[in-house]
Structure 1
Amino acid sequence: MSDLDLDELAGELAEFAPAAKKHATYTPREERIIAGFEDIERFFEEHGHLPQHGEARDIFERLYAVRLDRLRALEDCRTLLASFDKHGLLGRVEIQSEEVELDADDLMAELAGLGEDGDDITQLRHVRSAEDKRAAEDIARREKCADFDTFQPLFKKVKDELADNTRVTRPFELKAEIRPGAFFIVGGQIAYVAEMAEIFTNPQGRTDARLRVIFDNGTESGMLMRSLQRQLNEDDAGRRITEPVAGPLFADRAEDGETETGTIYVLRSRSDHPVVAEHREIMHKIGVTSGAVESRISGAEKSSTYLLAGVDVVATYKVYGVNCQKLEALIHKVFAAAQLNLSIPDRFGHMVKPREWFLVPLAVVNEAVERIRDRSILDYRYDPQSGQLEQMGR
């Protein structure tokens, strides 16, 4: 190979340089087609399948199916959308639209509100609200629970415990509250999370998991965790059902003369430190705050207290009428034998030893909270050897 100076080398490489991108401009019709295709992509990402035809399908899914057929059939649409088709939807199946006579503009008119400017595709008429549509979709996807006899006693027990205030309901707050064994009230029904598959990252970069949710009317759904989270957030009456409680400390509301004083929170670190990576599933920061947990962990990446890394909130518990500092000190005393002994450099290179991090399974933290509820926690300490709370003096 001959030697090249820098100028010659630059000239050689110039042939392979990508052409400068030009800012694309689209006609109003093309913009509507692109926006309509993005609706189809969102449907595919949320439901995991292409929109389908059929009288039993939701009106939006049927319209998306017609729209997709027409976009596949029109060469100019396929050309326009080629760079937007990140999931290969345009070529996923054979074109089948013989009975459909709508072109792309006609189809958009079906969805358009036809307001004063005639082009507002975000305003719909003669259709249900998005909230009603989503609720109907989820109900339509439910099927009869073949082994409901197994779960029926659980629902009866929960209803009895709600009636005698052994359990209470609270507003849904965090995705971390959705876990196997949890009960919720959504759409006027009690829902039980029976199973949770392996957590994965969806196309939007967010964690999700497939659930098996059993409803007290004898149906079940294989919905995603984020779908249940969305339903609970959108339902004004949506609630989570607590574990059995005893005493006013964890009551649904403060007793007379008491005020809500804080939250016990359990965090998990995203740090790539070898020790953290090895023990991530059982390594938790446990604390109590009188403010919002979100405010407490803001800027975690810059604080050695949080191992100079982001954190995930894996559990929270509301507390009433207690001294937060004393409660936190008690919890740390219970888990003192499992406190993490780790030193890391702070932003300035000084070695620091973060506190409040413990090598303890989340299930044991939940047990400790239950013992705080019945005040028996004073007699218990965590034993790292057995991995359990042990009663002192035994």
Structure 2
Amino acid sequence: MAEINAFREEHGREPSADATGSEQQLAWSLQAFRENPDKVRQLTPIDHHGLLTAPVPRPMTLADALASDDPLFSDAYGLSDAPTEIDQDLLDRMEERRKGARRITGEITERRRCEVFGVWKAAFARLREDINTGRRRLIGTAGARQVEKGDSFIVDGQISTIADILDVHDEVGLPRKRLRVVIDNGTEYEPYVESFSKALWRDPNSRRIAEPDGKMQGDGLFASTPDTRRTGCIYAARTLGDEPRGYAKDILKIGRTKGNPARRVAGASNDPTFLRQPAHLVRQWDLVGYEPKDVEGALHAFFSEAAVLQEMTDGFGKKTTIREWFLLTPEIVDEAIQLILQRKIGQHRYDAQEKKIVAK
């Protein structure tokens, strides 16, 4: 417990079972302590961070997942549906004002009220939610000369979205690019692209808001190529042992790790989630932008009818239920993952009798 306290004080979090080596061992010890009332009672006086009484999440059911509006199960979230342009009537009126006036000189830096901000409020709210949930990442920038309509940035502590890019001429007749920038405080303004880039450069905390993660191919939820943004992986493994009797050759473990799954499987003989039996890796799906725990929970919930629950005894004599084994083939898991990629898994269910995925 003293080592767990020291880890919490050094890293600001509890040890993770997804880690390897000593951190993983500490995580298993903490879980064993939590599940043993006698240990909780004995160790509470030295539990300086309340780790022993932290709530243990219950397994997610398919009903939970479908009710959660998780984009893994539905396309209702509409990550790409945020408006990228302001009302066309407003654009037309402003264009008419430009034509009726002499050429605007210099920079239009004065911010004015956005006349159609109601259209944008939901878009900004969605951006903030995507950032908070990890669907969008913040990328550091020392200026951005390459911007496109619909790009969003954080500058001076506010979200700014490029609503439009206009081809104009400056005061000496040179062609320039002028941006229409809408800000999440309800204002807008029209800087030249160079001036907007300078504003990003001047703000050391400026960030570009990336496009939503979770796309197909190599830039998405399941990456087909190595990516520096990899957040972990889902893996499938077969046991090489004899337990459970009668099922050992047919069950498949669907697990997660933020490290190397091959290393995780290599320690199977000492790992209760592997039934303390040797195993071999049969599939690996790298994740980009999503937490492995969330995707694993989604797959476990989807295949709950095929689950083979196993009870193991930990090092303290406490029985624990292992919920990661299923009567499945790797090909069925591949199929489920394709449905996740297509945002269609919520329209399907797994029929354990027929041993196939069917439409609802």
- TM-score of Structure 1 vs Structure 2, range by shorter chain: 0.3 to 0.5
Structure with greater strand percent:
2
Q: What TM-score results when the alignment is normalised by the length of structure 2?
A: 0.36
| RCO higher in structure (CA 8 A, sep ≥6) | 2
Q: What TM-score results when the alignment is normalised by the length of structure 1?
A: 0.33
The structure that has the greater radius of gyration is 1
